[in-house]
Structure 1
Amino acid sequence: MKRSSGARIGATAAVSVLSLALITGCSDEGSDDSKGSGSSSSSPTAQAAKALTTAELKKLLIAQGDVKGYKVEATDESYPTSKSAVKVDKTECQPLAYAMGGLAPGDTDANASIAASEDKSPTGTATSLEDMTEDDLADAFDVSSTLVSLSSYDGDGAEKTFKSVSDAVASCAGGFTISAQGEDQKLAKIAPEKASGAGDESVAFAASGAMEEGGTGDVHTEVVRHGNTIATYYTLNLGKLTSGEAYTVPSVVVDAQAAKLK
């Protein structure tokens, strides 16, 4: 692991406006366990559903103590606060970009987010960045961080939103460019992955992009529909990203959030 790439990636991880162009795509095609295809017709019950408010969603987000081995805390200024801050070069790919940034992938103002990161202590003995060896750095950055977001919709809005994400995984397979925080990043590939099967429908995808110091890396996203609420999970592990080791959206985080939405 190189220090410059680690520091740079960490500064912009939230929107994948890293020196990579990474994202994890969601699609039912990646899993026999995924529920639904995102194309189901709306039932009378769904059409009558009322969206939860942002305040109500905040109460439903996971909190500290809900996920064993994870620190759960409020998001900071490194995350985008509005959709106007995230642009794409292909309109059909916008839902994926929003999901990666912790924003509602569909048309709603009801949205709330939280950050969950592995709570682990580095094993190295170095007391400063300058004293760290490559192994120390790799260990320090080997932490999975997940941006969890909830958004809620009136009527069949959640079903339509889920379908827009699922459709985008297929239509954006060849990648797209995200513009955020003053930078443009090219995502070279969007690939479906196995989803958790949580909720009424779930899809997962990986976004691949070139890293600043050579090679490519992936970041991962899962989108789950629970009735008229959509939960999104965007996961980044800098250590595994730079080493090329496989990682996914942590199931313990998805399970903990799903339990609060039942």
Structure 2
Amino acid sequence: MKRSSGARLSATVAVSLLSLALVTGCSDSGADDSADSGNPGGSKGSGSSSSAPAAEAPTAAELEKLLLAQGEVKGYKVTSGDATLPKSKAAVKTDKAECDPLAWAGAALPPGDTDASAGNSVAEDKASTATAQPEDIEDAFDIDMTYVGLSSYEGDGAQQAVKAVSDGVSACSGGFALAAGGEKTKVTKVAAEKGSGLGDESVAFAEDVDMDGEGTATFHTEVVRKGSTVATFYTVNFAALGSGETAEIPAAVVEAQIAKLK
């Protein structure tokens, strides 16, 4: 793919995947090794999590304070997600209801039923090492950016949210259509992956996305539950779209965020 074509494609898909974060990528169980559990869409600790005593769910204001802040992850810049992330689930739609939780997770929206949520973005901080201006717009996009969402739930809502994502990974393995930010995207495949294994349970998955007929890009998403709070992570490098390269979710970001949760 030519660099100019790649840049245009990056900008176009950015609108759709940013909102959808198709990090919104269909998530799959990453916390546990699904191959060992025999449930590709399953989540670690799901068998015992339902019997754990329910903790008080943080409010939206409390979730804002629990989000990673600037200086808490070395080598990364933290910014508010208000300007780039969708404001509501209504802005992110799929053609299969069971795939909605995957799309919402990628867009830093709650994968379950709750009004308590917050989100931001964490990007590689290359400013301190930069020695020259980017050669073109595609070079300017050459950073890994992770969209982080937090949501909290009463009762067993958090467990149900993770289950919805896990179930969606299996139900949507053949793909689905996504509409976000005025753009339409086709997810051609969803597959479970092994995630961080952090928190009480987690689900990780990869999504293959059609790049407007110019190849396929793979996006990774992870959903982690700690108590009554669910954290979602979706990473994208717009410069790499269509190149065959993928942006992995930074372990340092996931570890630092989960460590802040109650």
Could you say which TM-score interval applies, normalised by the shorter chain? 0.7 to 0.9
Alignment-derived partner of residue 36 in structure 1? 44
Question: Which region of structure 1 is more displaced relative to structure 2, 216-225 or 178-187?
Answer: 178-187
Q: Compared with structure 1, are the counterparts of its residues 44 and 246 closer, same or farther at alpha carbon in structure 2 (3 Å cutoff)?
A: closer
**Match for 2:12 among 8, 18, 38?**
8
Question: Could you list the runs of 5+ residues in structure 2 that have no partner in the other structure?
Answer: none
CA offsets 1:190-223 (integer angstroms, 9 cap, x no match): 1111200110111111111111361100111100
Q: Compared with structure 1, are the counterparts of its residues 257 and 32 closer, same or farther at alpha carbon in structure 2 (3 Å cutoff)?
A: farther
Q: Compared with structure 1, are the counterparts of its residues 246 and 236 closer, same or farther at alpha carbon in structure 2 (3 Å cutoff)?
A: closer
Q: Compared with structure 1, are the counterparts of its residues 145 and 219 closer, same or farther at alpha carbon in structure 2 (3 Å cutoff)?
A: same
Normalising by structure 2, report the TM-score.
0.86
Say whether the 8 Å CA contact 1:31–1:193 is kept in structure 2: no
Question: Which region of structure 1 is more displaced relative to structure 2, 29-38 or 66-75?
Answer: 29-38
RMSD value over aligned CA atoms? 2.6
Counterparts of 1:35 and 1:175 in 2: how far apart (Å)?
21
Equivalences for 1:120-135 in 2 at 5 Å? 120-121=126-127, 125=132, 132=135
CA offsets 1:8-41 (integer angstroms, 9 cap, x no match): 23344413478xx982532245576996264556
Say whether the 8 Å CA contact 2:201–2:226 is kept in structure 1: yes
> Helix, strand or coil: the match of 2:77?
strand
Number of aligned residue pairs: 251
Counterparts of 1:24 and 1:124 in 2: how far apart (Å)?
37
Alignment-derived partner of residue 165 in structure 1? 165
**How much has 1:84 moved relative to structure 2?**
1.4
Say whether the 8 Å CA contact 1:24–1:218 is kept in structure 2: no
Q: Which amino acid letter does the alignment assign opposite residue 92 of structure 1?
A: E
Counterparts of 1:126 and 1:65 in 2: how far apart (Å)?
24
Alignment-derived partner of residue 87 in structure 1? 93
Say whether the 8 Å CA contact 1:142–1:238 is kept in structure 2: yes
Alignment-derived partner of residue 81 in structure 2? 75
Q: Compared with structure 1, are the counterparts of its residues 95 and 259 closer, same or farther at alpha carbon in structure 2 (3 Å cutoff)?
A: same
Q: Compared with structure 1, are the counterparts of its residues 44 and 25 closer, same or farther at alpha carbon in structure 2 (3 Å cutoff)?
A: closer
> Helix, strand or coil: the match of 1:7?
helix
Say whether the 8 Å CA contact 2:203–2:222 is kept in structure 1: yes
**How much has 1:178 moved relative to structure 2?**
1.4
> Helix, strand or coil: the match of 1:113?
strand
> Helix, strand or coil: the match of 2:253?
helix
Counterparts of 1:108 and 1:22 in 2: how far apart (Å)?
18
Alignment-derived partner of residue 216 in structure 1? 216
Counterparts of 1:22 and 1:218 in 2: how far apart (Å)?
11
Equivalences for 1:203-242 in 2 at 5 Å? 203-212=203-212, 214-242=214-242
Alignment-derived partner of residue 45 in structure 1? 53
Q: Compared with structure 1, are the counterparts of its residues 203 and 233 closer, same or farther at alpha carbon in structure 2 (3 Å cutoff)?
A: same
**How much has 1:139 moved relative to structure 2?**
4.2
Question: Could you list the runs of 5+ residues in structure 1 that have no partner in the other structure?
Answer: none
Q: Compared with structure 1, are the counterparts of its residues 244 and 16 closer, same or farther at alpha carbon in structure 2 (3 Å cutoff)?
A: farther
Say whether the 8 Å CA contact 1:53–1:152 is kept in structure 2: yes
Question: Which region of structure 1 is more displaced relative to structure 2, 178-187 or 149-158?
Answer: 178-187
Alignment-derived partner of residue 64 in structure 1? 70
Counterparts of 1:58 and 1:187 in 2: how far apart (Å)?
31
Alignment-derived partner of residue 117 in structure 2? 111
> Helix, strand or coil: the match of 1:178?
strand
Say whether the 8 Å CA contact 2:21–2:108 is kept in structure 1: no
**How much has 1:240 moved relative to structure 2?**
2.9
**How much has 1:91 moved relative to structure 2?**
0.8
**How much has 1:258 moved relative to structure 2?**
1.1
> Helix, strand or coil: the match of 1:242?
coil
